Amino acid sequence: MTNIFAPTAENLSRAAETIKNGGLVAFPTDTVYGLGANVYLPDAVAGIFAAKQRPLFDPLISHIADIDFLPEYAQTDQRIMDLAKHFWPGPLTFVLKRKDNNHQLDLVCSGLPAIAVRMPNHPLALELIKNAGVPIAAPSANRFKSISPTTAQHVYDSLGERVDMILDGGPCAIGVETTIIDLTTKEIVMLRAGGLAKETIEDFTGEKVIISHGSPDKPSAPGQLLKHYAPSMPMRINVCQEDVRPDEFFIGFGNVQNAQLNLSPSGNLREAAANLFAFMRLAETHKEYSGIAMSPIPETDLGLAINDRIRRASFKE
């Protein structure tokens, strides 16, 4: 018996009540599974940090279910609302100026003057947020720095009974976390590459998106720490097939030979992103190997997000 629940109306109602009352609920989104708590209950938000063993200086993303609610929650302008109406629901997070000095939100924001907000493109997530009646703070539902979860079983394997409920919505479609953009400045600044390509944002806005890798010591958004998304064994990246060592589990991409797993034999970056975390999790279970080798991935479109994740996963502390 586990704490994984089918997405029935009864379980969804129970999950919403759990959120309202200060519990933790893991739920599927379009990107990865999130570990959710009531954004207005600091004790519940503290439970997220405790369950993940995540440092308090690493801010969380708030999930909302209604675009019209955004101006009530954060400072907005026409550009922000235009972006929200075009890209939400979807894999894009905004970093915005906080609307007021609501101290209930200090922990979610890690004390920063800005707040990160998104609207997930998943019916179960949206229904949960609507039923709970509050924004839901939700980082990825896994232990801090470990591989992000794309199935309910991944959540259970990582967090077990630390979560009150895990809603099973099947595998996540995108497989890497959201793109995060800072809209508190005149220019659009990408703080984290993710499920929405930089080029897509530029095409819509007609503006150049500036890439910032942030400060690992003082992150202004999730996913900026140097070591993150890491498997339990060492990983090398940008490894050509002829350079794979005998003791390494080889994850390929494109037309390569002798890969134990291939993110996308056809070289499709969307397929590769969807498979990335699940394949890394599978690789680390093969204890007959002492490391993981990863094929080179192009630095275009979703390849920007994939390379960001594997660079952090392979970082040597």
Same domain, 187 and 254: no
Report the alpha-carbon distance of residue 264 to residue 270 in Å, rounded. Answer: 9
User: What number of H helices and E strands is found in the chain?
Assistant: 9, 15
Sheet holding 235-236, edge to edge: 235-236, 291-294, 248-252, 261-262
Report the alpha-carbon distance of residue 243 to residue 170 in Å, rounded. Answer: 36
Domain for residue 218, yes or no? no
Domain for residue 269, yes or no? yes
Domain for residue 27, yes or no? yes
- Give this prediction's pTM: 0.86
Element (H, E) at 44: helix 42-52
Rama region for 301: left / alpha / beta (φ>0; ψ in -120 to 50; rest): left
Report the alpha-carbon distance of residue 203 to residue 173 in Å, rounded. Answer: 23
Same domain, 14 and 116: yes
Same domain, 116 and 153: yes
Domain for residue 227, yes or no? no
Same domain, 128 and 206: yes
Q: Which residue has the tokens 């309202």?
A: 20
Same domain, 140 and 28: yes
Q: In the chain, how many domains are there?
A: 2
Per-residue pLDDT of 136-167, as tens digits, reads 999 999 998 899 999 999 999 999 999 999 99
Domain for residue 216, yes or no? no
pLDDT, position 243:
97
- Looking up residue 203, the CATH number of its domain turns out to be 3.90.870.10
pLDDT at 273 over 80: yes
Point out the least confidently predicted range of 85-99, 189-203, 222-236, 294-308.
222-236
Determine the average pLDDT of the residues in 30-52.
95
Domain for residue 309, yes or no? yes
Name the token pair of 187: 């220019």
Q: Which residue has the higher pLDDT, 308 or 14?
A: 14
Spatial neighbors of 121 by CB under 8 A, at least 6 apart, are 29, 30, 88, 89, 90, 91
Domain for residue 228, yes or no? no
Domain for residue 223, yes or no? no
Same domain, 182 and 243: no
State the chain's mean pLDDT as an integer: 92
Same domain, 104 and 40: yes
Same domain, 50 and 189: yes
Same domain, 202 and 262: no
pLDDT at 232 over 60: yes
Report the alpha-carbon distance of residue 86 to residue 101 in Å, rounded. Answer: 29
**Most confident of the following: 173-182, 215-224, 303-312:** 173-182
Angle 300-114-188 from CA coordinates, rounded to 5° = 35
Which residue segment(s) compose the domain that 274 sits in? 235-314
Tell which of 211, 245, 272 closes a domain: 211
Same domain, 36 and 133: yes
pLDDT, position 214:
62
Same domain, 188 and 242: no
Q: Are 236 and 291 in contact (CB under 8 A)?
A: yes
Nearest to 80 by CA among 171, 195, 188: 188
Spatial neighbors of 17 by CB under 8 A, at least 6 apart, are none
Same domain, 247 and 145: no
